[in-house]
Structure 1
């Protein structure tokens, strides 16, 4: 009893000591999960869900840290001063304090919230006890991610170095261990952020606009894993729904000597509870191949989809001379992503051989208190759950790679993922209208090789996740170089997924999709015979909410609002305009964005995830409507896209009542649409218009066109405007648009508009006002019929 009392007092005392050593710093915003973070409870979950072993040691928690600064270096010499040049003798003689790993040093949850100078190096230190190990076993040290260059010492002996901020890496530290006592672990990290060419995503040393606070050093879980002398090092899982098989390829690590034969067992638990197993057994004298593949039959498979994300349990064993020495638990899914033609011959993105429209948010993965690192696993999962609740079936992970558990949650919850490669180096010339297609920058040989090396490692670390359906190596020209080569080798190393060569422009005729960005949009790119069309970014509707912004003023969105009601109306309107574009061939769309990020306030949620800015039921219903079969669109009043339509027009302000059917427009000019400047993107100008204002009128006759009022469904304008318009039907205002479009779009109209139509003659009138830049106006009227 006395011993138990002493143990309780010791636990309480050491806990209070940790509390005294660490407390979170105060960021401008903190999430509700920050209160759940402590040195004793910091990302305790198993970090690698597709290769689970029972024994492991989590090294997250309090470490010593120090930031050492050398003499100021000119930019051209910075690259020579890196972690790779660090020697153990350079380690700090004293430490600055404690840091809570795995939160980056710049974050509030690290307890430090300091930046590392350009000529600085971040050092870490902690000790650990050697875990129980099998005879002749090996001890592996795993890092989920550390940005950017990392060197590791155990007991003063260098055990490895790694370059890359987004891929996991492992060192075998067995031979550096002391036979008894605690082991010392020291880590040095250097990160030039935007001072060099390495992949960095949106990290910059001076945050502004769409560029954010950097992450330096360790930002994912660090852990130990005791293993036998020969072990399962890596697995690759390849499902084939057409052949109803799954192939698992295993790669061995450690010492392959000292036994006569090896055997690898594969076992998958089927949907009905039965098991399908296979064994591969070979004479060890023949050597061990680099990859050992085993096939399993999955008859009548349950296919994985966002609606039914079924996962099969998978177990692998390694036996040496008949004795099981290693066992891992994993999972797999029967899922196929491909391109195919729909019933109209249009190229579409297919999931499991069927067209599925993909709609998701741009997700940047930043947190106000943890930056690159979510405060907890619950927080990490929450974003995905909210995304699904709001009607999305896909997430575009934007120029960042997440911890393995994020993709695990997507696998479990049913969320498709487009995975970007984090950008780096400089930017190529770019605009969103295709003026720089087939344009790219030139990287140095060192920069190009570094990009390729890390991209290959990122793909290799994530390729088993069924949720990932597309790789995106470049975005908006950021670091875009060798586009054709990069796209082709991406497809070579993973032919099972789609490749998006360049999201948002600077397109090359390679890869599986054509991807454009339009703000606010939407926009309908045209598919080709060998590529599907996707809207890679649109929206960006902003609403700053007092008490929930990164700074008090000067926050921004691509188009800002002051009221939730107006934001919601605009968002639903964007989805209404997107809906008919699906019938025109659009296979997917990405809305910007999941949350506010620093001074960007165009999130569906505030940065700290405290407030959802719109009604979940309303916007969820609008999103889920996108997955219905494409509607049938019938022209009532044609635009001038194909054949020029005649309008009456004037550029002089007309008398009151100009929009009414009884108005005498005989004094107006007559001319073909559209009206504007030929240089305006997406325009079809037949009549030049250069003044600030133009007024248009046109008469149409439903009876003459054979259209009855009872045959109509939901009306929409088909309009291309630059800039603001007021549209009238039979003298009544039916729509007001602001800003500009870069192509023809559908604007849904309400039931009251349909009631304004007459069975005979009707009058359509519009006023368009221009303030600067391009100018254009043309419009028509269409009927939209939902297909059951």
Structure 2
């Protein structure tokens, strides 16, 4: 496979790697970024390496070229990381602070040691975790040691599109630390979480501040704004808040809902993505967050057809499937600008929705969707044992065309025989919703995709609705529809486009297109995968325009959303609007 680099990867400064504040929904002044050079080593046994092998650039996985390693972690190996940092205890004792260590994501399971003592264990390669390391610290130099194990697609854990033997619609497996590692100093009693639940119709917002003990809390809401430039550092937010007038005020206790009525409502839309920033004060701790006033619903139009509505107005959601892969960073974008580029480029092309496919991004990606006005459908990350594609892909495709329903009780055929794997999926689905539901751009949760690891679909839908009653649910994207959720969710790559609208659920074409074309010099592989192969840019563009016109003809019949496959090429799958390196915009046939 040819190694491609993005423009951002080419200019990566290893001394300043992804330094933007990583948690936009809870911003605190204290921020110590640990990205950059760490030591690394591979072992066969669960034992610290006698000698480390070299430097790895965190948070890029060892399989990626930007990490400086370019080596696959195998299921029978362990990957070790080492980093040192300095601590002055004078500050801690004087201000009575605690130090928290955060990992954005580590794939798949890890153990974290501080100065040789185990501090925390975590499993779940797509979700963040933190631990209080204060009691493990010493004056002067301190050591972080992380041991990682990744079974990838040899087990039932969540893995998305990763495969040890990549090919076709499955891509290079990656492992280890792949999101920002950072620390912060907090008071003894500190704000653990902030959850804002907007109520557009009532003109109010419900805010819950979570802390270990019940504490008095004060909240000040600020005048909404549209943020054309992203906030990058904690002081950016605090500086903005200092100069803005108060637009709402609330007091109460932590762990209880505080209702704040807003004097004027600026609704969030794709054209006017207003965000309300607010400040939370609790004892010696202060944090910033934001929310937006908007609501996504299914409502009948004048013809009685169910439609997706934003703020009670029909919104056709024209979307793109977004895998979130990069040729140089794999799961990790080489820069904040790269994340913005993908989102803004799709918006410039007339798309108003991205379906984040089988991956959870760093929270800054969702923040950019929030501030730029891009709707998001968020997939849960799929897991389960090795998929039986003769059943879940080829057979299911044919049956779906005939509108034949398949029950989800075939746990062996759907690769969900492991009870531990099913319980893990439920746990991670809840954690995913809790992590991301504060982002106003997210319109829908997509629970299962094409039967990959699908089980107890109705129960999973109920759990998702309980965790977040304010969003739409696509319970089964593609096929294995169990007639629940808010969408009749169709995938169509091979057949004539047609729909059969329902009375209650909105009809969505949640995957289609996938027209493929290699671009010489910008393709990673000689082999080509896609749905419809083209060798000429003009031919590809004509076919794409014709296909989009055919889709648009279905809108009056009841089609509510469409998701074109896909935003960029990924390895063999060269059906992207952009090439894998984001240098050629194939659908328009121009270089940018």
Determine the structure 2 residue equivalent to 1:625: none
**Aligned-residue CA RMSD in angstroms?**
1.7
Structure 1 residues 191-590: aligned runs within 5 Å? 191-253=150-212, 256=213, 262-271=215-224, 274-281=245-252, 291-319=255-283, 325-426=284-385, 427=387, 429-430=391-392, 431-432=396-397, 433=400, 434-442=403-411, 443=416, 444-520=418-494, 523-551=497-525, 553-590=526-563
CA–CA separation in structure 2 for the residues paired with 1:525 and 1:475: 19
Distance 1:537 1:66, change over 3 A: same
Higher CA-based Rg: 1
CA–CA separation in structure 2 for the residues paired with 1:521 and 1:142: 47
**Range that drifts further, 217-226 or 265-274:** 265-274
CA–CA separation in structure 2 for the residues paired with 1:477 and 1:540: 20
Distance 1:299 1:523, change over 3 A: farther
Shift of 1:595: 0.3
Determine the structure 1 residue equivalent to 2:238: none
Determine the structure 2 residue equivalent to 1:745: none
TM-score by structure 2 length?
A: 0.91
Q: Secondary structure at the match of 1:265?
A: strand
**Range that drifts further, 560-569 or 125-134:** 125-134
CA–CA separation in structure 2 for the residues paired with 1:187 and 1:345: 57
Shift of 1:509: 1.7
Q: 1:27, 1:108 within 8 Å by CA — same for their partners in 2?
A: no
Determine the structure 1 residue equivalent to 2:235: none
Shift of 1:467: 0.4
CA–CA separation in structure 1 for the residues paired with 2:499 and 2:113: 52
Shift of 1:491: 0.8
Distance 1:441 1:237, change over 3 A: farther
Q: 1:524, 1:586 within 8 Å by CA — same for their partners in 2?
A: no
Determine the structure 1 residue equivalent to 2:71: 114
Distance 1:522 1:121, change over 3 A: farther
Q: 1:389, 1:616 within 8 Å by CA — same for their partners in 2?
A: no
Which of 593, 608, 615 is residue 566 of structure 2 equivalent to? Answer: 593
Shift of 1:49: 1.0
Distance 1:520 1:305, change over 3 A: farther
CA–CA separation in structure 2 for the residues paired with 1:293 and 1:223: 29
Determine the structure 1 residue equivalent to 2:37: 62
User: Residues 10-49 of structure 1: CA distance to partner in whole angstroms, max 9, x if unpaired?
Assistant: xxxxxxxxxxxxxxxx962111111221221100100011
TM-score by structure 1 length?
A: 0.69
Distance 1:61 1:512, change over 3 A: same
Determine the structure 1 residue equivalent to 2:237: none
Determine the structure 1 residue equivalent to 2:95: 135
CA–CA separation in structure 2 for the residues paired with 1:376 and 1:111: 16
Shift of 1:530: 2.0
Q: Secondary structure at the match of 1:231?
A: coil
Shift of 1:522: 6.5
CA–CA separation in structure 1 for the residues paired with 2:27 and 2:559: 40
Q: Secondary structure at the match of 1:474?
A: strand
Q: 1:69, 1:117 within 8 Å by CA — same for their partners in 2?
A: no
User: Residues 62-99 of structure 1: CA distance to partner in whole angstroms, max 9, x if unpaired?
Assistant: 111011124xxxxxxxxxxxxxxx5xxx2111111110
Determine the structure 2 residue equivalent to 1:615: 588
User: Residues 587-607 of structure 1: CA distance to partner in whole angstroms, max 9, x if unpaired?
Assistant: 100000000000111000000
Q: Secondary structure at the match of 1:34?
A: helix
CA–CA separation in structure 1 for the residues paired with 2:305 and 2:269: 22
Q: 1:521, 1:539 within 8 Å by CA — same for their partners in 2?
A: no
User: Residues 175-213 of structure 1: CA distance to partner in whole angstroms, max 9, x if unpaired?
Assistant: 1111x1111100011010001000000001110111100
**Range that drifts further, 268-277 or 478-487:** 268-277
Q: Secondary structure at the match of 1:388?
A: helix
Shift of 1:449: 0.6
Structure 1 residues 752-763: aligned runs within 5 Å? none
CA–CA separation in structure 2 for the residues paired with 1:306 and 1:440: 39
CA–CA separation in structure 1 for the residues paired with 2:169 and 2:274: 37
Q: Which runs of 5+ in 1 are unaligned?
A: 1-25, 71-85, 283-288, 320-324, 618-788
The higher relative CO (CA closer than 8 Å, separation ≥ 6) is in: 2
Q: Which runs of 5+ in 2 are unaligned?
A: 226-243
Shift of 1:281: 4.8
Determine the structure 2 residue equivalent to 1:712: none
